[in-house]
A and B are shown apart, each in its own frame.
Chain A
Amino acid sequence: MAFVTANWNPLGEAFYRKIELYEMGWNLKDGLRECLVAAAPYGGPISLLKGHNRRSPSARPQLEIYSSSGLPLASFPWKSGVVKQLGWTVSDDLLCVQEDGTVLVYDLLGGFKRHFSMGNEVSQSQVLETKIFHSPYGTGVAILTGALRFTLATNIDDIKLRRLPEVPGLQGAPSCWAVLTQDRQSKVLLANGSHLFILDNTACTPVTPPGLSPQASSIVHMCDSFSYKYLALLTDSGHVWMGTSNLKEKLSEVDTKIKTPPKQMAWCRRPKSQQPSAVVMWDGLLIVVGECKETIQYHLDDDSILVPELDGVRIISGTHHELLQEVPGACEEIFKIASMAPGALLLEAHKEYEKESQKADEYLREIKEQSLLSEAVRQCVEAAGHEHEPETQKTLLRAASFGKCFLSNFPPEQFVSMCRDLRVLNAVRDYTVGIPLTHTQFKQMTVQVLIDRLVYRKLYPLAIEICRYLKTPEYQGVMSRVLKHWACYKVQQKEESDEVIAKAVSVKLADAAGISYSEIATKAYESGRTELAIKLLEFEPRSGEQVPLLLKIKKSPLALSKAIESGDTDLVYTVVMYLKNELNRGDFFMMLRNQPVALSLYKQFCKHQEQDTLKDLFNQDDDHEELGNLYVKASYKEQRLEARIALLQSAVDEYYKAKNEFSAKTTEDEMRLLRFQRELEEKKGELLVGFSLHDTMTTLLSVGLHKQAEQLYKDFRVPDKRFWWLKLKSLAEKEDWEELEKFGKSKKSPIGYLPFVEVCIKHHNKYEAKKYVSKVTPEQKVKAHLAVGDMEGAAEAAIERRNESEISTVLSRCSATTDHLLMERLNRAKATAVKK
């Protein structure tokens, strides 16, 4: 505790410290020499490939995966091609890029997940160099091929290969290159001698970093910062240039005075730090450069690698694992020698208090006089977060807690959450877990991701424990995610029976919210346990999730009925379309037949997409009625008359089969009518085809083709009434009163004579109208008289019939001035009618 600052080194304004995280648990004979090594950021796992250049089948290279503390997670002989590069994805998957451009993906326990190729061009010209990078879109792979071209995949989970343009004048491999993320795009920055180029999708643009010292003839190393915002270049003259990654601004330039090319370079900058700083590593030497001329030098005993982190650099060697970082502000304030910062005073006060010395009060007074006590508490809490040793953490937190006693209204959240966070962090930093996260990293990565990482390592109990301890809200589903992973793992345990597993899973998962049983079932199916999968699916409440898997495991009838039960049409469609492609037609139709909902949906689809299929469907069902309707419908789309009649004939046949004589007869009539219309069209030139019978007759009558109209009247057994109405209207329209009169007398009108009266009036011929009034039946007499405006006649008729309502009607039409007498008579008649 007393020597917190023992490992501090000043650089410019700031201090840097190197903390030992672990003594490595692995037992490597040759350290990291001649190994391909990759370590995942955020304290992730480390992978080693020993002797990766060995090609003889007798001595295969060995791929090993360790936790950050060096505990073995997996180890297996490498049987695939020559590996050029190892790397980790953001979700802790191991990527192995082979010489031929194939990328193999393993999980961190060495299980093979999948592989993908970086394209033909890469496999032909072979991989020269490759880099695995992280961008906001995920993990990407960049490859420099033997043909000196770059191929890029920005996100390996959604592979879109991009081949970047050629670099002019590039003869051999560039001296160094890096992948930058700018303007939401991944670009390659490369150095060819002293020339720098930026390659994006379309162009290769030469760039010059501002203020790069002129002595340099070549850039030998480059790296971008964890946040992609900054870039560091190392020249052959030993200068490190640091600036923004868009090459617009220079931050500093430092001479390392070493001209040999380094092994590795990395940014070592904490967020919000004032000073840019990078770490350069040579054999046995590590230099930290910042803004000032001075540098910090560390001696290295062993072959090491640098792992850049959000707030520092981890240094992994054959025996040790260390963290190099700029000392966080709060820690510096408190622990700097002779610091008078409030935090430092509070810590001192607390120490005195524990010694039961009155000096405690003096210190406190001093802080309080400047009214900086809350600041002091805050500092102590923050510093605790940045300290690695639990003892130091405790001391700081106790000091903070002590200070809090003298404050009213100090919000407790920060203190409480820091205590919780530290508890979790100390748990995962434990040697057996081996995730050396700093507090800054933890906050950046979030609890959810940390839980995921634990789950990947199958540390389910710890994950659950953390969830419970941090009281993660249900809706974030962290807990259920852990349970789901556990269940997925569980179903792969071959030694237990389906029943036992299904029961175990359902019991554990029962009351957790948002569990997707279908995902677990998928896992079960994938590991060859179809029956278990079906059992598990029974627990799935959402049909939308059940159905796709049921289809996949070839339980299509079950899938179809589940889909229908759900009432979700979309889902039914999904199944139907799947079945359509999967089954032969007969089976498909049979299956639909048993499911009316699915059938009607499919019919809808066919109506627009596949008319013929619709016919087949009806045929299979012997649904002749519908077939007939289908033909009738088709006939209306048909322009050519012959084809139209042919279709109608098919309809007639179907209607007969359906024993629907009425429709059949009507359709036959229609065919007859069509033929008749065409004949007339040809002869007389009247447009008729497609008219209804009624309209045809109207047209015929209006052009004076009475004979033909009569013929239709007889042939089609048109009701008399209709024909009379038709003829009456058309004659009146033509104002052919003579013909109308003749027609009226031809026989007794089936529609009576009131229509005659009305039609004449409609055409303003009162004279003609009067002719028919006498013929009107007694019931309609009043109406007829009124229609022609004969009030007296109407009154006469009404009185004769002694009908009260009719009398009233007439009365209402009389005007008081002219029909005075008439009204009197009517009123009298009305009175008697009422009496009766």
Chain B
Amino acid sequence: MAHTEWRDAPELPDFSLLKRLARDQLIFLLEQLPGKKDLFIDSDLMSPLDRIANVTILKQHEVDKLYKVELKPIVSSSDQLCFLIRPRIQTVKWISDLVNADKVAGRFRRYKIIFTPQKFYACETVLEEQGVYGDVTTDEWNFYILPLDDDILSLELPEFFRDNFLEGDQRWVTTAGSALHLLQSVYGSFSKVYGIGRCAKMVYESWRELMEEGEQRTRQPEFAKVFLVDRDVDFVTPLCSQVVYEGLVDDLFRIKCGSVEFGPDVTSSDKSIKVMLNSQDKVFSEIRNEHFSNVFGFLSQKAKNLQTAYDKRRGMDIQQMKAFVSDELKGLKQEHRLLSLHIGASESMMKKKTKQDFQELLKTEHSLLEGFEIRECITYIEEHINRQVSMIDSLRLLCLLSITENGLLSKDYRSLKAQYLQSYGIKHLLTFANLRQLGLLEEQQAGETLTVMESKVGKLVNDKTVGKLTDAFSSLAKKSNFRALSKRLALVPKSGEEYDLRVPRDMAYVFSGAYIPLSCKLIEQVLERDGWTGLEEVTRMLNGQEFAVTGGSSSSEARNKTDAQRIVLVMFLGGCTFSEISALRFLGKERGCRFIVVTTAITNSARLLEALLDNHA
């Protein structure tokens, strides 16, 4: 029942083109600084860069040595330094310090900063303030999108989430807009755009502006529809423990830029092995979307098949053997290697996940989602905190509790928070402040309501900005109406019914049949209704900000049903999880369409919460 290809699956566009474009531009930029040079790369750009241009290609373009940006003094004897960085003030400041240090030492070098995906004025301001503006040349590498797989495109901007939703810094909005514009200019326009969330709206606006500026192209669209969704529309989904194989691998081993490093406990040797996880991996592509309880059985079946394939050798004559070795053996060997790795991974998964602890954790999560035995859940969470089981997991359960219950009772809030601080230190006061700001962990309040506060502030400013302020407030302190939403959209299937995870009924299978991801359900509903009509209640609970636009200049009606019409592009602003991707793949299969996921980054509960910790800065 693997989810791979079904018969009339529409053809996906070839996204490797994006890589080629990015590579060509990078090479062009490197050649702008002729001669040997040392290249400093932002640590989080290392993996994406490797997918675009490997070391050999860089060396071909006169890159001498490669360094990671570590914000420390450097040792480089080269006369030309090139920095490939994200536009962050901190990094730019570090570079300015380097330049100034060289100046003091009387050393003459040439410096070039390549910002990716774009330059920010703030960074240039820093250069100016530090007095090195004239010494450094700057450039932009418009590397907006990294194709992680056939159907996953990533902007590789994990900080998008924190910057946009916590800090209120919308600098990446235009980046997301440009990414869409890039897709459109390479692959053709879209016939319809839907979205929900404040950021989604802004991204759409930015994209629309780019469209208007650029020349109009009337090409047959490659995607039928686009759906933009803010991460803060649905925080519940990324906070749940993932139980489909790919998600679980991400939770346990952390998939980085489409590849994962399996440690010695998986490889059953003393080495770690790096594996690319994508549809090229035949074994992986068959199990990635499976509930992990099925995976083991599937793998052992696969192992048996493999053995049979090997066994074919017996009784072959020389000629057949020769053909076997040259045609099949290599493939089998490869499959064998991958199979043993995945078996190792799922074994180590089983070890960790079938333990009672995990079962209880899942049970608590499901109770929270269903909304019963809340007291028991609180007790469980308390124990979890007291026993210092896991800093992030405790936080995750707290957030899940708060969202599903629409805030914690004052008494609970204080006691749980106090206990958490005792366990993990007072620095988490800041974490809690952040969580509250995002509406992830709140105290139920009787006193001052939001509207009062709004009108107070509203008096201070002119009429034009009031609207914007209200928007800002509502997104800052958004109320979770999870329970009501869940009822209206039937997110939680009725308990008591058996759910056969081998034969998924609906998208709930990605959470063991306990919960349909809200984000994916919204997408399903909107696509089904071709808009937001009938979902007014739902959008009101999600603080509105929904939109649906019929795209571009091209006449959307009366177009024949081409393959492209069955491809839907979903953009998650602030990250999406592998569970959501699996759910969408399932949905696509059900509806005979295919989803392409564009995300600012792949996220999971740990990444989401770690982004909100404040102790690192």
A residues contacting B by CB (< 8 A) are 475, 542, 561, 564, 567-571, 573-574, 577, 593-597, 600-601, 603-605, 607-609, 625, 629, 632-633, 636, 662-663, 666-667, 669-670, 690-695, 716, 718-719, 721-722, 725, 751
Contacts and interface: CB of A to CB of B under 8 A. Distances in A.
Contact of A577 (B93, B125, B205, B465): B125
Contacts of A607: 617
Nearest to B170: A569
Identify the interface centre among B387, B422, B468: most chain A CB within 10 Å of its CB: B422
6 contacts: A594-B465, A600-B167, A604-B89, A604-B163, A608-B93, A693-B421
Contact of B424 (A666, A692, A716): A692
Identify the interface centre among A542, A669, A722: most chain B CB within 10 Å of its CB: A722
B430 A722 contact: no
B461 A594 contact: yes
Contact of A632 (B167, B171, B427): B427
Interface pairs A-B: 6 shortest CB-CB: A600-B168, A692-B425, A569-B171, A670-B426, A722-B386, A608-B89
B427 A636 contact: yes
A625 B429 CA distance: 11
A666 B126 contact: no
Interface stretch (B320-328, B336-344, B411-419): B411-419
A597 B425 contact: no
A636 B388 CA distance: 22
Identify the interface centre among B90, B168, B206, B417: most chain A CB within 10 Å of its CB: B168
Identify the interface centre among B421, B426, B430, B465: most chain A CB within 10 Å of its CB: B426
B46 to A, nearest CB: 22
A84 B417 CA distance: 83
Identify the interface centre among A570, A574, A605: most chain B CB within 10 Å of its CB: A570
Interface in B104-120: 120
B614 A633 contact: yes
Nearest to A543: B209
B215 interface: yes
Identify the interface centre among A595, A596, A604: most chain B CB within 10 Å of its CB: A596
Contacts of A662: 414, 417-418
Interface in B398-414: 414
Contact of A666 (B121, B386, B418, B472): B418
Identify the interface centre among A595, A625, A662, A670: most chain B CB within 10 Å of its CB: A662
A725 B386 contact: yes
B168 to A, nearest CB: 4
Interface of B: 89-90, 93, 120-122, 125-126, 129, 163, 167-171, 173-174, 202, 205-206, 213, 215, 382-383, 386-388, 414, 417-419, 421-427, 429-430, 433, 460-462, 464-465, 468-469, 472, 614-615, 617
A444 to B, nearest CB: 28
A574 B121 contact: yes
A692 B418 CA distance: 12
Contact of B202 (A561, A567, A577, A691): A567
Contact of A569 (B174, B205, B417, B421): B174
B426 A632 contact: yes
Contacts of A663: 429
Nearest to A697: B422
Nearest to B213: A542
A435 to B, nearest CB: 33
Contacts of A718: 422
A605 B417 CA distance: 31
B89 A716 contact: no
B418 A594 contact: no
A691 B125 CA distance: 39
Given A690-B425, A721-B386, A722-B419, 4 more contacts: A567-B174, A609-B93, A693-B425, A719-B419
Contacts of B202: 567
B127 to A, nearest CB: 12
Nearest to B88: A608
B424 A567 contact: no
B179 to A, nearest CB: 15
A109 B430 CA distance: 67
B205 A561 contact: no
A596 B472 contact: yes
A694 B422 contact: yes
A633 B617 contact: yes
Contacts of A719: 386, 419
Contact of B464 (A561, A569, A633, A695): A561
A718 B421 CA distance: 11
A632 B430 contact: yes
A721 B307 CA distance: 54
A561 B463 CA distance: 12
Given A569-B170, A608-B93, A663-B429, A721 B383 contact: yes
Contacts of A632: 426-427, 429-430
Nearest to A724: B386
Contacts of A561: 464-465
A331 B200 CA distance: 67
Contact of A667 (B125, B414, B426, B460): B426
A662 B168 CA distance: 26
Identify the interface centre among B129, B205, B421, B468: most chain A CB within 10 Å of its CB: B421
B15 to A, nearest CB: 27
A681 B180 CA distance: 57
Nearest to A625: B433
Nearest to A541: B212
Given A567-B174, A604-B167, A721 B121 contact: no
B174 A568 contact: yes
A243 B205 CA distance: 61
Contacts of B427: 632, 636
Contacts of B430: 629, 632-633
Nearest to A628: B429
A693 B423 CA distance: 6
A724 to B, nearest CB: 9
A692 B423 contact: yes
A567 B386 contact: no
Contact of B169 (A604, A636, A667, A670): A604
Contacts of A670: 426
A751 B382 CA distance: 12
A669 B174 CA distance: 45
Contact of B433 (A568, A629, A690, A716): A629
Nearest to A667: B426
Contacts of B169: 569, 600-601, 604
A690 B426 CA distance: 10
B611 to A, nearest CB: 15
Given A567-B174, A569-B173, A573-B122, A636 B89 contact: no
Contacts of B120: 569-570, 573
A573 B121 contact: yes
B490 to A, nearest CB: 27
Contacts of A475: 215
A721 B615 CA distance: 28
A629 B205 CA distance: 35
A530 to B, nearest CB: 22
Contacts of A595: 465
Nearest to A604: B169
Given A594-B461, A595-B465, A629-B433, A691 B174 contact: no
A666 B421 contact: yes
Given A633-B430, A666-B418, A573 B465 contact: no
Nearest to A566: B209
A629 B206 CA distance: 34
Nearest to B433: A629
Nearest to B415: A719
A596 B469 contact: yes
Nearest to A595: B465
A542 B90 CA distance: 30
Contacts of A636: 427, 615
Contacts of B424: 692, 694
Contacts of A694: 388, 422-424
A681 B439 CA distance: 40
Given A608-B93, A609-B126, A666 B429 contact: yes
